[in-house]
Amino acid sequence: MTVALPADADALENGLIEIARKAGAAMMEIYQTDFDVRSKDDASPVTEADDAAEAVILPGLRALTPDVKIVSEESAAKGDVPDVNGETDFFWLVDPLDGTKEFIKRNGEFTVNVALIAKGQPVLGVVYAPAIDKLYYGGPDGAKLIEGDVMEPKTTAISVREMPEDGVVVVGSRSHGDPEAMKAFLGDLAVKELRPAGSSLKLCLVAAGEADLYPRLGPTMEWDIGAGHAVLAAAGGVVENMDGSGFVYGKADFRNPFFIARSPSVPVKYEN
């Protein structure tokens, strides 16, 4: 989908990467401490790092695009949700700390997620994993992985790969997996490896050609996957509903159905 962005594309990219890096730095300051964990109304865990990252991201996005609404997980949990249902223009979709359980476990597989949604589809996105210093970006000019020091980063263009002849690499949730449901979904598909991963890094592994298929057979929210979807789409991949229909953002409650993220070369059996 080609759209006229709400600001200069280079300014959006540079600004978004800078915001994600600053949010990641705020998270890492807390990651090194004996932080407290509390529960939200839905019993999901939250830490002060979630709040610290959001406190960086929201003003950064408002300065970057003053007229674009922002839907953020932590603000939404407090009842602050702008009306974007049926929105024809843009809105930002933010998960300040995706993979809070991975953050608590201190395994490094947590990310900052920020996506720009236009007419129900992600058109820009950044996924930053500060503990492992990997930043994935997707936009109109493709997808890239940025690693290393901010002053001397290594930037690599990424794209999905063709289905390997010796079987696919399938990624699944490290903390929310359902092995039996996964087995039933895969059926007789030739699988070389089942690889667990945390947060939206699963989508980025497919985007980078390190994996081929990510079936999500459990609940998620739009802010969990919007940024990773943007990266995957820019890398040539697809996210679709279990019946093969297109995946749409801006739903009334922001809850996602089960979905499939994949390289287009991987065949799947859709639900009728």
- Give the model confidence (pLDDT) of 130-167 as tens digits: 999 999 999 999 999 999 877 788 999 999 999 999 99
DSSP bridge partners of 115: 93, 125
On whether the CB atoms of residues 268 and 175 are closer than 8 A, the answer is no
pLDDT, position 35: 86
pLDDT, position 142: 96
Cβ neighbors of 224 (< 8 A, separation 6 or more) are: 95, 98, 113, 200, 256
Using the predicted structure, report yes or no on whether residue 6 has a pLDDT greater than 90: no
- Give the model confidence (pLDDT) of 243-270 as tens digits: 999 999 999 899 999 999 999 999 998 8
Using the predicted structure, report yes or no on whether residue 18 has a pLDDT greater than 60: yes
pLDDT, position 34: 86
On whether the CB atoms of residues 139 and 123 are closer than 8 A, the answer is yes
On whether the CB atoms of residues 64 and 19 are closer than 8 A, the answer is yes
- Give the model confidence (pLDDT) of 208-232 as tens digits: 999 999 999 989 999 999 999 999 9
- Per-residue pLDDT band for 101 (boundaries 50, 70, 90) equals confident
Cα(219)–Cα(227) distance, integer angstroms: 17
On whether the CB atoms of residues 168 and 213 are closer than 8 A, the answer is yes
pTM, full prediction = 0.94
Q: How far is CA 184 from CA 2, 146, 188, 215, 257, in A?
A: 37, 36, 9, 11, 18
Cα(161)–Cα(130) distance, integer angstroms: 25
Using the predicted structure, report yes or no on whether residue 87 has a pLDDT greater than 80: no
pLDDT, position 179: 82
- Give the model confidence (pLDDT) of 172-209 as tens digits: 887 666 788 898 999 999 999 999 898 899 999 999 99
